Amino acid sequence: MARNVVSPPLGQGTRNSWKRMLPERAIAVGLFLSTFLSILITVGIVAVLLFEAITFFGDVSFFEFITGTRWTPLFSSKQFGVLALVAGTTLTAVLAMVVALPLGLLSAIYLSEYSPDVVRRVVKPILEILAGIPTVVYGYFALLFVTPILRGISEDIAVFNALSASIVMGVMI
Whether 150 contacts 161, CB under 8 Å? yes
Instruction: Decide if 77 is inside a domain.
Output: no
The domain total for the chain is 2
Q: In this prediction, what percent of the chain has a pLDDT beyond 90?
A: 61
Same-domain check for residues 101 and 168: yes
Instruction: Decide if 165 is inside a domain.
Output: yes
pLDDT of residue 145: 92
CA–CA dist 160, 143 (Å, integer): 7
Instruction: Decide if 138 is inside a domain.
Output: yes
User: If pLDDT is split at 50, 70 and 90, which confidence band does 73 have?
Assistant: confident
Instruction: Decide if 50 is inside a domain.
Output: yes
Same-domain check for residues 100 and 144: yes
Same-domain check for residues 100 and 25: no
SS3 71: strand
Instruction: Decide if 128 is inside a domain.
Output: yes
pLDDT of residue 78: 86
Phi and psi torsions of 73, nearest 5°: -75, -15
pLDDT of residue 11: 56
Instruction: Decide if 127 is inside a domain.
Output: yes
**Mean pLDDT over all residues of the chain?**
89
User: If pLDDT is split at 50, 70 and 90, which confidence band does 169 have?
Assistant: very high
pLDDT of residue 13: 55
Instruction: Decide if 118 is inside a domain.
Output: yes
For residue 60, count other CB atoms closer than 10 A to its CB.
15
- pLDDT single digits (tens) 14-67: 556 777 788 889 999 999 999 999 999 999 999 999 999 999 999 889 999 999
Same-domain check for residues 24 and 103: no
Instruction: Decide if 13 is inside a domain.
Output: no
Same-domain check for residues 98 and 167: yes
Exposed/middle/buried for 139, CB within 10 Å: 0-12, 13-18, 19+? Answer: middle
Question: Per-residue pLDDT for 121 more than 80?
Answer: yes
User: If pLDDT is split at 50, 70 and 90, which confidence band does 172 have?
Assistant: confident
pLDDT of residue 17: 74
Q: Which domain holds residue 91?
A: 85-172
Whether 93 contacts 172, CB under 8 Å? no
